[in-house]
Structure 1
Amino acid sequence: MSQFENVTVLKKANVYFDGGVTSRTVVFADGSKKTLGVMLPGQYRFTTDTIEIMEITAGELLVLLPGETEWKPYRGGMQFEVPANASFEMDVKTITDYVCSFVSASS
């Protein structure tokens, strides 16, 4: 899907790591949320509250998922899932564009 229809976009940006990661929240008619963001090269650690599906639309990075010991490469066109209440690490190699979907327990 190259675009989202009938959504609300929150004006305030989500800014992390001194601007190394920024995103905007998109709210759908059913109440579900996604963020559309950009990550600059660098290393980042995030913690999840819900299941998150990270779709990489452009760029290259390495990801260390919870319980894993090896970093795995991801690039545009790939995605990965992170369980709820977990931490994961990213080593972003090039400017990376992403869509993060938040999956509620009732989904």
Structure 2
Amino acid sequence: MITENQYFDGNVKSLGYTTAEGKSTVGIINPGEYEFGTADKEIMYIVEGELSALLPEQTDWKIFKAGSQFEVPANASFKVKTDVQTAYLCQYR
């Protein structure tokens, strides 16, 4: 089953699916700054574009370009910002 997700007035959209390893989403982030909360550990892969992330317990934004990834622990929040449309794959583990 594929689920459609939309956040921040449609500026972040994704399609969700489940595999034997767990849930994942693949989506697009429009230019802007957004804050997300996690229920599970999240592994975020940048597929195309780039974004900056302010990860939990960090004070400096870090840039992630296409081909890079970062992890966010469960029950945390993090911010992302981008100047270009950015495609991602997020795995919930």
What range is the shorter-chain TM-score in? over 0.9
Q: What is the number of residues matched between the two proteins?
A: 93
Runs of 4+ in structure 1 off by over 2 angstroms are none
Matched letter for residue 90 of structure 1: V
Matched letter for residue 87 of structure 1: S
Unaligned runs of 5+ in 1: 1-8
Equivalent residue number for residue 25 of structure 2: 35
Equivalent residue number for residue 14 of structure 2: 23
Question: What do the CA deviations read for 1:21-73 (whole angstroms, capped 9, x no partner)?
Answer: 00001111x26110000000000000000000000000111100000000000
CA RMSD of aligned residues (A): 1.0
Which structure's residues are more often strand, by fraction? 2
The answer to whether residue 70 in structure 2 is matched with residue 77 in structure 1 is no
Identical-pair percentage = 45
Scaled by the length of structure 2, the TM-score of the pair is 0.95
Q: How does 1:1-107 map to 2 (within 5 A)?
A: 9-10=1-2, 12-28=3-19, 30=20, 32-103=22-93
Equivalent residue number for residue 5 of structure 1: none
